[in-house]
Structure formats: structure tokens, C-alpha cells
């Protein structure tokens, strides 16, 4: 039912071309997963998402557990049927949201007691609950519960977070029953490479279907993140998928692929789209700017997305200026397609040994991907 194969590697880097097969379809890697926090990509239908080239979608366990509830989703046929997305799905464990969104939380070795960010209701999340919820949601790939410490954190807090992450991962492994789901462990440890290596070694000893690197893209510099990846990624099994959680910008993705990462997720395409910021190969466009008022060209020449094929920059600006709902949808469609075009080109260049040339086709990846083209 599941398989992961490395089809080619890149000369001069650890980048690899792969294929992940699930019961709901295949995913070509390196892959970018759009984020459907509550079981939906904001402003975009599943059909429109598929047309952007996305092969896999991410759902958020915490938010789906709060509303409408895992039992509701299970009663209605699981997250695939409930959301109308027929392809592969991944759900995170909900741990990150518990630590970042909960009004109050208390962490112990048993789990996390917290108050819902929605209505303040008391809740508790432990490894058993994290697995039970995700098994009810029914995603193809699920994540072990982990503790995500902030960066920076005192050394003792980092060690405690890693110990809990490993302990909870082992409990999740023991609790997991569904054979039609893959379970990934999550490597934590902040910017402490030795602690990350220890965490990875202990998780590998437990044994997981794939391995994620969490706790990055939370405020550290680009160089610090890549430094951790260059040291930690080679420690992970070569025959299992490697997932960098919550990343990222085009530059982060390209450099992380060179370190051997296979899977990414981030809210940037749709969050930026909703806020009238559009990705192009040469930088971002701010669609409310006056300069686009009479611009008859598409958002990006050469882009094959629905938006670029049918609408001008002037029209997109008009939609945003007048508050029309269509504006965020069209901008998000373009941004989602931009990220899938980037990933497709990365996959083309890896077996050819030409990954370095990606910066010639997508110059934005040479610098800060959030630099804005006025």
C-alpha cells in the first residue's frame, strides 16, 4: 500500500528525486504540501488545488479536533471524503498549535493540559489522544506527538523537550494501529546539532515510516536553519522520506532540498495571496499598488496557471481595491501554482545534475524570498 523510492540523486549535493506512493495516489518528491488548516485550502476548491499541480495536502489535527471534532469527521467518512480532496493527505500531531495557540498550557511527561484558543474549554493532548484523533481523521501520513521548544531556549529546556519528544514518539508508535497510515517521528533539538543528532538516533531506534525535522522556521536565521539541516539530514535513513515542517520560502526550499529534504509545507502561498502579495520568479508583486492600475499583462509572463491565462494585473488590483472575494482566490491560485512550478523544475534538474541553475530561472531564490517587487 505504501512505498518510497529514491529515483535519482544530484551530483554535488544531497538532493534526491523520489516517489512516495499511498493508497490515495503518488507524490513526486521533493514535494510542497499546501496547508489546509481546517480541512480546506483557504479560498480554493479541491479541484482548483489539483489544477495547480498539488499532489498532497496537509490538514491540522488541533484545529480539526476543536472544530468539527474527529468523531464528526470519522462519522462522515474521514477527512478525504469530508474535505472533497481525493489525493494523499498528511495531518500533523497538533502539538505545535497546542504550544503556540493555547491560552494556557501545562506540559508534563504525560502530555499537555491546555485551554482551547476557540472557547477556552479545557483539553488534554497526550500520545494516545494524538494518535486516536489522527486515526479517526484518516490521513495517509500522520505525525507523532512532539514538544516544539522556542528558539532560543535554555539548554535544560531543550533537553527536556527532546526527551519528551522521544518518549511520546515511542508511545505513539505503540498506540498506532491503522495499517493504511504511515507514522512519522519528529526530530527536535533547537539549534543544538548534538541534541538533534541524539534525538534522530533515538527515533531511528524506535523505527518510523518517515522522519520529520520540526522546530525550525520559528525565528532563527536562514543560515542557522540550513546549518542544522546539513548536519542532521544525513543522519536520517536514506530509504525513508524526510519532511521539513513549516518551511517555507522558495530560497529555504531550494537550499533544504540540497541538504536532502523531500517534503515541505507552508501557509505562504495562500496567506500571501489573501493579502494581495503575489510570488513571481523575480520577486513579489503588491497588487494594491497604483502601478498596476492600467497593467494589461498577467501576473507572471510564462506562468500557466488559470489566473495568468485569463486575467490582467489591472483586474487583480481592481478586485483587491474593491474588496471582491475573487481577488484572494485568483492570487492564491497563482501562488500555489508558482510553488508547484518551482518544485517541478527542481525535480527536473536533480537527475540532470543541474540544480544550481534553478537560481537562473527563479532569481528570487538567490535572496530573501520575501523581498518585494514594487
265 belongs to the catalytic site: yes
CB burial of residue 197 (10 Å; 0-12, 13-18, 19+): middle
- Provide the Cα torsion 103, 106, 110, 116; round to 10°: -10
Is residue 260 a contact partner of residue 8, using CB atoms and an 8 Å limit?
A: no
CB 330 within 8 A of CB 319: yes
CB atoms within 10 A of CB 220: 17
Helix residue spans in the chain (DSSP H):
46-51, 61-66, 70-75, 78-83, 95-101, 127-137, 155-175, 193-206, 222-232, 250-258, 268-274, 306-310, 313-321, 326-352, 358-361
Query: Which of the following is catalytic: 28, 71, 92, 126?
Result: 92
Which position among 174, 180, 265, 348 bears the catalytic label? 265
Q: What share of the chain is helix, strand, coil (3-state, %, to 5)?
A: 45, 20, 35
Q: Is 304 a catalytic site residue?
A: no
Which residues carry out catalysis?
A: 92, 265
Amino acid at each position: 500500500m505504501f512505498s518510497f523510492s529514491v529515483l535519482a540523486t544530484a551530483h554535488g549535493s544531497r538532493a534526491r528525486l523520489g516517489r512516495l506512493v499511498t493508497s490515495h495516489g503518488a507524490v513526486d518528491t521533493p514535494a510542497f504540501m499546501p496547508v489546509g488548516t481546517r480541512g480546506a485550502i483557504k479560498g480554493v476548491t479541491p479541484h482548483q488545488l489539483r489544477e495547480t499541480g498539488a499532489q498532497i495536502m496537509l490538514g491540522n489535527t488541533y484545529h480539526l479536533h476543536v472544530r468539527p471534532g474527529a468523531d464528526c469527521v470519522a462519522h462522515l467518512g474521514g477527512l478525504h471524503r469530508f474535505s472533497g480532496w481525493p489525493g494523499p493527505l498528511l495531518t500533523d500531531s497538533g502539538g505545535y498549535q497546542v504550544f503556540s495557540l493555547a491560552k494556557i498550557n501545562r506540559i508534563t511527561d504525560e502530555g499537555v493540559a491546555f485551554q482551547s484558543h476557540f472557547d477556552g474549554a479545557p483539553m488534554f493532548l497526550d500520545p494516545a489522544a494524538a494518535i486516536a484523533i489522527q486515526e479517526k481523521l484518516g490521513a495517509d501520513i500522520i505525525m507523532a506527538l512532539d514538544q516544539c521548544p522556542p528558539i532560543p531556549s535554555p539548554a535544560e529546556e531543550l533537553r527536556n523537550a527532546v526527551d519528551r519528544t522521544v518518549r511520546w514518539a515511542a508511545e505513539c508508535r505503540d498506540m498506532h494501529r491503522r495499517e493504511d497510515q504511515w507514522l512519522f517521528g519528529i526530530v527536535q533539538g533547537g539549534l543544538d546539532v548534538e541534541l538533534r543528532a541524539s534525538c534522530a538516533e533515538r527515533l531511528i531506534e524506535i523505527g518510523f515510516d518517515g522522519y520529520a525535522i520540526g522546530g525550525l522556521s520559528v525565528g532563527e536565521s536562514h543560515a542557522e536553519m540550513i546549518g542544522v539541516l546539513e548536519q542532521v539530514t544525513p543522519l536520517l535513513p536514506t530509504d525513508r522520506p524526510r519532511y521539513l515542517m513549516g518551511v517555507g520560502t522558495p530560497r529555504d526550499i531550494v537550499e533544504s532540498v540540497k541538504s536532502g529534504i523531500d517534503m515541505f509545507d507552508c501557509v505562504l502561498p495562500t496567506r500571501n495571496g489573501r493579502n494581495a502579495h503575489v510570488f513571481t520568479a523575480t520577486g513579489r508583486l503588491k497588487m494594491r499598488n497604483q502601478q498596476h492600475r492600467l497593467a494589461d499583462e498577467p501576473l507572471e509572463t510564462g506562468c500557466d496557471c488559470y489566473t495568468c491565462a485569463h486575467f490582467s494585473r489591472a483586474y487583480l488590483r481592481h478586485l483587491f481595491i474593491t474588496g471582491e472575494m475573487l481577488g484572494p482566490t485568483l492570487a492564491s491560485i497563482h501562488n500555489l501554482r508558482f510553488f508547484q512550478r518551482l518544485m517541478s523544475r527542481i525535480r527536473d534538474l536533480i537527475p540532470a545534475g543541474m540544480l544550481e541553475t534553478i537560481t537562473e530561472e527563479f532569481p528570487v531564490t538567490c535572496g530573501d524570498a520575501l523581498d518585494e517587487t514594487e
